[in-house]
Amino acid sequence: MGYWLAGSILFFLAVMAGLSRRSRKTSAVGQPVGRLRPCPESPNCVCSEETHARASVPPLVFDVDRSLAWQAAAAAVQAAGGEVVRQDHAYLHATFTTTVFRFKDDLELRMDEGRGVIHVRSASRVGYSDFGLNRRRARGLRRLFDQQLHAGRGGTSRRRAG
């Protein structure tokens, strides 16, 4: 029985190490048609441009100058532990590394100035389920974004409904 348990643990650790290595390969990110990529069928992705409730999250809402909102969003990503890989005036790609197995996850932001929102997509690169991690990451990012906007206004906050 002891060998079986030890073997099972070693097998599990080997599989997780393999997935961790696989997650370090660059994933498909970007805006194929002016929107963030849709989430796959697996429950390890959330996106504010998604129509399915299982993957939908609200975007970041702002009612300040777009450059101030974009700066607040980038600062929120970094405060959440993200490493910015690419950023321009309307798109940001960052990676997050999970604590235990060092999996790489992708976070993308897309500015929609006309609607006063920044769309969010957070997705795991490997595996099937993320146990809600990407949804929690999007929620935490929203909280940090609101804090950054609040700090940028000198302590006053007026959020537009969205």
The per-residue DSSP string of 123-151 comes to EESSSS--TTHHHHHHHHHHHHHHHHHHH
- Give pLDDT tens digits for 57-111: 999 999 999 999 999 999 999 999 999 999 999 999 999 998 877 889 999 999 9
pTM over 0.95? The answer is no
Q: Are 7 and 15 in contact (CB under 8 A)?
A: no
How far is residue 105 from each of residues 56, 79, 100, measured CA to CA in Å?
A: 17, 16, 13
More confident residue, 81 or 160: 81
Give me the helices (H) in the chain, please: 2-23, 66-79, 133-152
Domain spans, the chain: 2-152
Protein fold of 2-152:
TATA-Binding Protein (3.30.310)
Return mean pLDDT, the chain: 84
- Averaged pLDDT, 46-60: 95
Residues 6+ apart with CB under 8 A from 22: 125, 126
28: confidence class by pLDDT, cuts 50, 70, 90: low
Per-residue pLDDT at 81:
97
- Averaged pLDDT, 119-128: 94
- Spatial separation of the C-alpha atoms in residues 72 and 98, rounded to whole Å: 23
